[in-house]
């Protein structure tokens, strides 16, 4: 079975072609995947400009699709489905993706599998590296499980009875953790997206600055990252006043900010862990591309309990949309029935 996956929820245009070879053991291969980031477009604005993101998706989708066909010599008639991430996301980006997908599906006479972007992040932890098959990865996850979804748009703690039964325990009340790292990066003069650049800078710094750990004393599983960003901005302004905003200070500031937000999510996750006593902890979403956070998590919860996606698959791409599509193929629709849902939840 061949599934073409398409991702356009935010600022990454992703297309991937996956083939499920042995369905019982869930063996599959990635035939090809294409990804185009829009970092250079949005970096000068310090964040994503939705209308520009949509324009780029519109421009890039046909280019990437043609590139995929050329590199694989695949015949589109042989695709079984087109999986598309229909939300949550930026409305203009989703509309640009939807138009492309509907036209393609009509042209090829294929059905579309609508994929929830958040579920695709969760299912992405099952995508194996090299020889392991999906089945072996599924066996690593012991239910009930706790899932921490940390991305540029979301920060959610979920209790999972299995792969279908979810209960949201808490979420951010303002900024998402990735958004907060991106904004801290901007305060330090780093280009968008700040998360990976802050990580690099923080590696050479010392976490010597005091910053709050928001909401850790509250008896709930919600998060807030807007206040800590303001505290960080005030700290940086103060440092600038004393002419101490040099490279060494920037590294220490990056290390301090990262430590504060990472400790915050770990403290909250630990509270949920103690209350719900899950057998596994899944951590997924773009922010878990961060090696420092992975190490901090392993230190607290141990390697056995934790399930992460492959590092290269943590951030948005078409592979995880095609992959999740496989599990939702029974929801496949005729192209004209496809709708986007910018506010879709888990
Ligand atoms: O999952 P994702 O690609 O998109 C959303 O669904 O939002 O996550 C993007 C977020 C951005 O905020 C980005 O800065 C953050 O993930 N991110 C990182 C790292 N790589 C990406 N944050 C910290 N460290 C990283 N290495
Ligand atoms: Zn994402």
Q: What pLDDT was estimated at residue 160?
A: 98
Residue 259 confidence (pLDDT) above 80 = yes
How far apart, in Å, are the Cα atoms of 80 and each of 49, 97, 120, 211, 325? 34, 19, 19, 51, 11
Give the model's pLDDT for residue 131: 67
Cβ of residue 201 lying under 6 Å from some atom of ligand 1: no
Residue 5 has pLDDT above 80, yes or no: yes
Ligand 1 site, residue 7, Cβ cutoff 6 A? no
- pLDDT for 132 equals 65
From 120, 195, 265, 320, mutation site for ligand 1 pocket: most ligand atoms within 8 A of C-beta: 195
Q: Do the domains 145-309 and 2-130+314-337 match in fold?
A: yes
If you ran DSSP here, which 8-state letter would residue 13 be given?
A: E
Inform me whether the pLDDT recorded for 130 exceeds 80: no
- Regarding the beta carbon of 278 and ligand 1, being less than 6 Å apart is answered no
Name residue, tokens 């934790």. 306
pLDDT at 133 (0 to 100): 79
Q: Which atom of ligand 1 is nearest to the CA of 292?
A: 24
Angle between helices 291-301 and 247-276 (to 10 degrees): 40
Q: What's the CATH fold of domain 145-309?
A: Nucleotidyltransferase; domain 5 (3.30.420)
Predicted local confidence at residue 25, as pLDDT: 73
Which pLDDT tens digit goes with each residue over 107-116? 999 999 999 9
| Domain regions of the chain by residue span | 2-130+314-337, 145-309
CATH code matching the domain that covers 2-130+314-337, chosen among 3.30.420.40, 3.50.50.60, 3.20.20.60, 3.90.950.20: 3.30.420.40
The response to whether residue 118 sits with its C-beta less than 6 Å from ligand 1 reads no
**Please, which contacts does 32-36 make with residues 24 or more away whose CB atoms are closer than 8 Å?**
32/68, 32/71, 32/72, 32/74, 33/68, 33/317, 33/318, 33/319, 34/64, 34/65, 34/67, 34/68, 34/318, 35/64, 35/317, 35/318, 36/12, 36/60, 36/63, 36/64
Please name the residue whose Cα sits nearest to atom 8 of ligand 1.
Answer: 286
pLDDT tens, position by position, 286-314: 999 999 999 999 999 999 999 999 999 99
pLDDT tens readout for residues 172-223:
999 999 999 999 999 999 988 999 999 999 999 999 999 999 999 999 999 9
């Amino acid at each position: 079975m061949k599934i073409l996956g398409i991702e356009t929820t935010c600022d990454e245009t992703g297309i991937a072609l996956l083939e499920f070879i042995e369905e019982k053991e869930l063996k599959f291969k990635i035939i090809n995947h294409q990804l185009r980031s829009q970092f250079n477009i949005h970096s000068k604005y310090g964040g994503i400009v939705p209308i520009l993101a949509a324009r780029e998706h519109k421009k890039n989708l046909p280019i990437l699709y043609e590139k995929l066909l050329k590199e694989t010599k695949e015949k589109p008639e042989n695709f079984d489905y087109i999986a598309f991430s229909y939300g949550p996301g930026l409305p203009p980006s989703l509309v640009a993706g939807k138009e492309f997908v509907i036209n393609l599906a009509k042209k090829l006479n294929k059905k579309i599998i609508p994929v929830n972007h958040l579920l695709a992040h969760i299912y992405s932890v099952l995508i194996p590296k090299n020889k392991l098959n999906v089945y072996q990865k599924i066996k690593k996850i012991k239910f009930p499980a706790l899932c921490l979804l940390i991305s540029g748009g979301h920060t959610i703690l979920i209790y999972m009875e299995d792969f279908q039964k979810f209960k949201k325990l808490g979420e951010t009340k303002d900024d998402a953790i990735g958004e907060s790292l991106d904004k801290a990066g901007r305060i330090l003069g780093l280009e968008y997206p700040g998360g990976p650049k802050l990580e690099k800078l923080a590696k050479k710094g010392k976490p010597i600055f005091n910053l709050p750990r928001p909401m850790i004393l509250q008896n709930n599983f919600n998060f807030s990252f807007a206040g800590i960003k303001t505290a960080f901005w005030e700290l940086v302004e103060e440092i600038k006043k004393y002419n101490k905003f040099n490279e060494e200070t920037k590294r220490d500031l990056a290390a301090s900010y990262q430590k504060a937000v990472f400790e915050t999510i770990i403290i909250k996750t630990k509270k949920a862990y103690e209350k719900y006593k899950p057998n596994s902890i899944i951590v997924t979403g773009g922010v878990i591309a961060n090696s420092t956070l992975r190490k901090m998590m392993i230190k607290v919860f141990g390697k056995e309990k934790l399930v992460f996606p492959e590092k290269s698959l943590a951030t948005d791409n078409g592979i995880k949309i095609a992959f999740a599509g496989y599990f939702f193929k029974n929801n496949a629709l005729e192209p004209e029935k496809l709708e986007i849902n910018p506010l879709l939840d888990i």
